[in-house]
Chain A
Amino acid sequence: MLDVTADPVRRPPPARKIAAWAGVAPFFLFAAMFLIVPTFSLMVGAFQNRDGEFTFDNILRLTQPSILHSYALSLEVSAASAFFGALIGFALAAAVIFGGLPRWMRPVLMTFSGVASNFAGVPLAFAFVATLGRMGLVTLLLRNVFDFNLYTSGFNLFTFTGLTLTYLYFQIPLMALVIAPALDGMKQEWREAAEILGASRWQYWRYIAWPILGPSCFGASLLLFANAFGAIATAYSLTGPSLNIVPILLFAQIRGDVLHDPNLGFALAFGMLLITGVSNFAYLALRARSEKWMR
């Protein structure tokens, strides 16, 4: 029953807010238990020794030559696949959006990119073995039709080059998906306004288009970089433990394939998270900034 003599300023009955908080509680509980705390516990573990005391030891052991080599390899593969993925992905998206191609190509590209960017891991490795492996279709084609022996000329699918090439299969579509909104935001009127003010095509790119797109492109490259750095399934299936990128190293540590040293594992994970965390954070910051412009 309404109390008409109550205070004129009435706050919503507490019961409603409680219901809301109860409704979101499972989410936060889940996030805490299965996202935040596990990750955090790893980070803490990186600075602990077996007895739980605080130490920098594990981090220092990361500077072992073999581990440094791993990180270097990971950084190279990630950087290479990010760089070329960004370049080609940008070209592809630009071609479909601005290139004067038939309209239907854009939705097809976007759908395909959606599929391809998820087609990573074990099946992708299989697919590339079937293509560029020793008995792969393209390898055979090159030998039988063009008289060119891929493997004697030094190429090997199970190396750095091969892995990068394989990674491009999901990096390029990811770039296309991520940069498409930015390209859409490039209004045609800017180009026309620049032109009527006397600018040539090149001047438009130099003073207007590139400064606007640049941060988005760079940010997207960082996303690609982080994506490649954390990927393991493809590499594991393709090169197995022979190519010592960091995730594979970590994989071995967790599985106990090597001298079981969990704290070193934590340190490895910490290093990985630091790198992917910084890259992703930078990507998000750059994206927020350019979205502000594109109002």
Chain B
Amino acid sequence: MSFLSASGIQKHFGAHVAVKRFDLEVEKGEFVTFLGPSGCGKTTMLRMIAGFETPTRGTIKIAGKDVTDLPPNKRNIGMVFQSYALFPNLTVAGNIGFGLRIAGRPPQEIKKRVGEMLDMVKLPQYAERYPAQLSGGQQQRISLARALAPNPQILLLDEPLSALDARIRASLREEIRALQLELKITTIFVTHDQEEALSMSDRVVVMRDGEVEQIGAPKEIYNRPRTRFVASFVGTLNHLRARIVDPARGAVEIEGYPAFTKSPLDGAGVGDIQAMALRPESLQVTNADGSANVFKGVVEDAAFHGAVVRVKLRLKDTLLLVDVFNTGEGAAPQRGQTLSVTFRAEDLIALQGD
């Protein structure tokens, strides 16, 4: 049985529908991320799990118990807010120990636990400081320590890294994931940053306009996106229009070039136009010519991105993005150069939806 389950969740704010339909089962110890653009309903959903909003319809269960109508202060959940929300009038120790103090734990126990938490987030000397004296990254770590101190059954994080600058974001990301794995705590993470989602999660829930587009492990979401939205939201993508030649064999034609795909084309008729996608890194430079799954075009631009050279290849109607590894040997593609690229059938993805 799953540890956290949300079934048939709907949320209306007056006339505005924030969440149209949400169903999810989360196993104990799992790290699940709600990923999507602003307004997709991910934060609203998180807040319903926390108890700050009540679903218009549907139920939320934690460890088998129905908590839908339970107030937040009775759910034993830890939460990290985007703006840290540390209490400015309490010291770091006061903040971290707050939950335990409310629960009436003895002072000795609180002190010990606070020390443990500070060690855990690697800020052992900061107990007597005030939040105003800390940097953004430090505040967020204290915020995490505060959320975890009372040993909650679930940890919620609402875009905790958005307010931090890029370098701190990257290191904190790893710290959070490492901590979560060590504590084996069920975690829900909300973000609009697909890099965070892919690198941290066991599973990703991609959301749009109050609905779930796809749920799956990061690799699956990335390599086998089910809809055009998911494909373009997660990673960069080349959008292609293909004409179906033989659905049973997966044969299509793209800009006059023959291609094969391993993606199922059920339901499509011969001659139909099918939306398809290719990741830039799945295209390889090749000398082959005339075979299937080969495109030939003219290099319009080649930008050096360090590990990768991002090439813009002009086909007849399409501008293809190709990521060429910078192996150090051989010259990088030049503007005006004619180039042939190839790909595997498994990498040509058929997309549904708009």
Residues of A within 8 A of B (CB): 187, 189-190, 192-200, 203, 207-208, 211-212, 292-295
Contacts and interface: CB of A to CB of B under 8 A. Distances in A.
B292 interface: no
Contacts of A190: 85, 87
B125 interface: no
A208 B87 contact: yes
> 3 tightest CB-CB pairs across the interface, nearest first?
A189-B85, A197-B99, A193-B85
B81 interface: yes
B186 to A, nearest CB: 15
Interface stretch (B13-21, B71-79, B269-277, B317-325): B71-79
Contacts of A192: 50, 52, 72, 79, 81, 85
A214 to B, nearest CB: 9
A200 B74 CA distance: 9
A200 B73 contact: yes
Interface residues of B, number: 30
Given A197-B146, A198-B102, A294-B88, A189 B83 contact: yes
A196 B72 contact: yes
Contacts of A292: 132
B129 to A, nearest CB: 13
A197 B52 contact: no
A187 B83 contact: yes
B87 A196 contact: no
A63 to B, nearest CB: 42
Contact of B87 (A194, A195, A295): A194
16 contacts: A190-B85, A192-B81, A193-B146, A194-B87, A195-B72, A195-B73, A196-B73, A197-B99, A197-B147, A197-B150, A198-B74, A198-B102, A198-B103, A207-B87, A212-B89, A295-B88
A193 B85 CA distance: 7
Given A193-B79, A293-B132, A199 B102 contact: yes
Contacts of A194: 87, 98
A208 B86 CA distance: 10
* Residue in B72, B79, B88 with the greatest tally of chain A CB atoms within 10 Å: B88
Nearest to B84: A189
B150 to A, nearest CB: 7
Interface of B: 50-52, 71-79, 81, 83, 85-90, 98-99, 101-103, 130, 132, 146-147, 150
Contact of A189 (B81, B89, B102, B147): B81
A198 to B, nearest CB: 4
B85 A187 contact: yes
Contacts of A293: 88-89, 130, 132
A176 B103 CA distance: 36
* Residue in A189, A193, A194, A208 with the greatest tally of chain B CB atoms within 10 Å: A193
B157 to A, nearest CB: 12
A157 to B, nearest CB: 43
* Residue in A187, A195, A292 with the greatest tally of chain B CB atoms within 10 Å: A195
Contacts of A197: 73, 98-99, 102, 146-147, 150
Nearest to A203: B102
Contacts of B71: 195
Contacts of A199: 73, 98, 102
Contacts of B78: 196
A206 to B, nearest CB: 10
A193 B72 contact: no
* Residue in A194, A200, A294 with the greatest tally of chain B CB atoms within 10 Å: A194
Contacts of A193: 79, 81, 85-87, 146
B92 to A, nearest CB: 14
A295 B50 CA distance: 27
Contacts of A295: 88, 132
Contacts of B72: 192, 195-196
B117 to A, nearest CB: 13
Contacts of B101: 207
A198 B150 CA distance: 9
A207 to B, nearest CB: 7
Contacts of A207: 87, 90, 98, 101
A204 B72 CA distance: 13
A182 B85 CA distance: 16
B84 to A, nearest CB: 8
A212 B88 contact: yes
A256 B2 CA distance: 89
A197 to B, nearest CB: 4
A194 B71 CA distance: 12
* Residue in B73, B76, B77, B86 with the greatest tally of chain A CB atoms within 10 Å: B73
B73 A198 contact: yes
B39 to A, nearest CB: 19
Contacts of A294: 88
Nearest to A293: B88
Given A187-B85, A211-B89, A293-B88, A196 B132 contact: no
A195 B79 CA distance: 10
Given A189-B81, A193-B79, A208 B89 contact: yes
